[in-house]
Amino acid sequence: MARVRLGQMLLDEGCINEIQLRSAIAHQDRWNTRIGEALVALGYLPERTMLTALAKQLGVPYVELGDRRIPRAILNLVPVSIIRRRHLVPLGLLQQAHRRGPLLVAVSDPADLASLDEVAFASGFPVKAVLASQSDVDQLIHRHFEGLDTNHPRALDLPPDPGPLTLTRRDPKN
């Protein structure tokens, strides 16, 4: 079954009108943005309304992060380099049938499977994404990590790619 487009969904729900949708599509084409970003940028919708509709379209919960404080033990499950590079924040571990996990992660793009896979690999937990605004995620990252030492011994942080490897032979005579 095809997913209903966000603009059409907002139109059907009466959040925007046809002229606003056409204007947002033109803005989207001109500035190479997403339709939701265009609707918010043009002032046709509050960001919260757009994100609520987007969460409904994607089938994920929407959360407002606000002044939320995340326990250090949860933050330490994901390397800071991944958190900053991927613009996401672990929020907590859910409990399911006698085991810990999945790891609840706030992201501004729940369809970014590469980011979610990277978090799952690094943390060792399956991941469940929740939608949050980009600004909320960035503020939470800034609040929790600005000026802190980012070396966490429990987190798996892979070194930068050293490039191609060169094979050398040892002289068997030595």
Per-residue pLDDT at 140 exceeds 50: yes
Going by C-alpha positions, the residue among 99, 163, 107, 158 that lies closest to residue 130 is 107
Look up tokens 């992660």; give the residue: 105
SS3 89: strand
**Residue spans per domain, the chain:** 6-58, 72-145
Query: What gap in Å lies between CA 75 and CA 140, rounded to an integer?
Result: 11
pTM above 0.85, yes or no: no
Arithmetic mean of pLDDT over the chain: 87
CATH architecture of residue range(s) 72-145: 2-Layer Sandwich (3.30)
Per-residue pLDDT at 78 exceeds 60: yes
The pLDDT of residue 150: 46
Q: What are the pLDDT digits (tens) for 82-113? A: 999 999 999 999 876 667 779 999 999 999 99
Q: What are the pLDDT digits (tens) for 15-68? A: 999 999 999 999 999 999 999 999 999 999 999 999 999 999 999 999 999 888
